[in-house]
Chains A and B, each alone.
Chain A
């Protein structure tokens, strides 16, 4: 069953959520109910697909052991090369899965592998950094397999998640969680099943069949951009809402991305948990090392290379197909150009003018839509 894919899924999910709500209203920790409930939901999602279920089980056992072993090994060997090795091992199932699409045209993996991999790598890095010292096997299982966000995020952080899942919420406070959660689920359903579905049915799925002319490409570009937003932001809201009902405040993923004033602003508003992850664990670490160890003459060079590495990696993470890689690199270039321009006097002179801000927002919107056209693969067919 596809998570949040049909009425049956929602129906069974509500049945699973009812005991969680009762536990929550009694002011008890939901975690101990959440663990078996999780397993049931995962069975529901992958039960009919034996192959995906097998890959998930292998993935989970492997990453689980990796984290447990590394959290013990770090006490004896705090070398950076060992961190690199464990990261490569942690990434290997994802790489295998992405390569399989290219070489045998079939995905050998399971729905959500890209997202679960983020959680694993974050834990490995923060074990190295010394922020994660003890790993409880139940907390680890619950974090990695937390069903509301299993298939497509939002990407939570283990330290925050484990702290929250071990905290009992007062009944009065839980009522707020519940109210917010239900509201988010409804909002998300309107986004995804009404607006997103409508755009897909009446625009994207029709335009794509027409000849690929410039006019059709432009129509497709805007339709697809709005579809992508409403579908993904809608899904995210539902996933966040369900998390709230499970007593977990999963972080927000979107904040009005189409009104971004520039491309850097966009990445603070679009797929936020993904971009913050990349910023924290790739860009920041690279630029910090580069500045401390003086790898480049100019700090701006360090930052530009950092942006390029980060955004291209993001492209590769989406998939090894050309459209994804070009999408990532294109955003890297856009950020660099924006950054360069924003340090010029002319920008500082005009940045507060209303017409400049409007022009900048409109330009940003169109660049974003163009990047989504690249992302969609329309141009490569």
Chain B
């Protein structure tokens, strides 16, 4: 699952973020308003979960690590 998220992030940002797993995706300019929508659409599609940008807080998914953790939690809740 972790790998899939990094692949999605790479598709959106154009960068391999494995080495920057704690970097802030918003402050570093990698994810903007459109980027976050693309991310959510891709995650919904790949993991079959529902994410609402009005509910997900940016600080919960601001780094690749936090994003992985968030999706992990959510998908275990949904099962």
A291 neighbours in B (Cβ, 8 Å): 37-38, 41
Interchain CA distance A283-B32 in the complex, whole Å = 12
Q: A292-B41, A351-B29 given as contacts; is B54 within 8 A of A287 (CB)?
A: no
Interchain CA distance A131-B34 in the complex, whole Å = 23
Minimum CB–CB distance for B26 against chain A, Å:
8
Q: A131-B55, A280-B53 given as contacts; is B34 within 8 A of A303 (CB)?
A: yes
In the complex the two chains form, is A284's CB within 8 Å of B53's CB?
yes
Interchain CA distance A119-B55 in the complex, whole Å = 15
Minimum CB–CB distance for A310 against chain B, Å:
9
Q: Give the number of residues in B that approach A within 8 Å (Cβ atoms).
A: 12
Q: A131-B52, A280-B53, A281-B54 given as contacts; is B33 within 8 A of A288 (CB)?
A: no
Question: What 1/0 flags go to A341-381 for Cβ under 8 Å of B?
Answer: 01000000001000000000000000000000000000000
In the complex the two chains form, is A264's CB within 8 Å of B32's CB?
yes
A126 interface residue, CB < 8 Å from B? yes
Find residues 2-55 in chain B having any chain A CB closer than 8 Å to their own CB: 29, 32-34, 37-38, 40-41, 52-55
Minimum CB–CB distance for B49 against chain A, Å:
14
In the complex the two chains form, is A303's CB within 8 Å of B33's CB?
yes
Q: Which residue of B lies closest to A262 (CB)?
A: B29
Q: Which residues from chain B sit less than 8 Å from chain A, CB to CB?
A: 29, 32-34, 37-38, 40-41, 52-55
Instruction: Sample 6 A-B pairs with CB under 8 A, ordered by A number.
Output: A280-B54, A287-B33, A288-B41, A288-B53, A299-B38, A351-B29
Q: Which residues from chain A sit less than 8 Å from chain B, CB to CB?
A: 125-126, 129, 131, 264, 279-281, 283-284, 287-288, 291-292, 299-300, 303, 339, 342, 351
The 6 closest A-B pairs by CB, nearest first: A280-B54, A303-B34, A284-B53, A287-B37, A288-B37, A291-B41
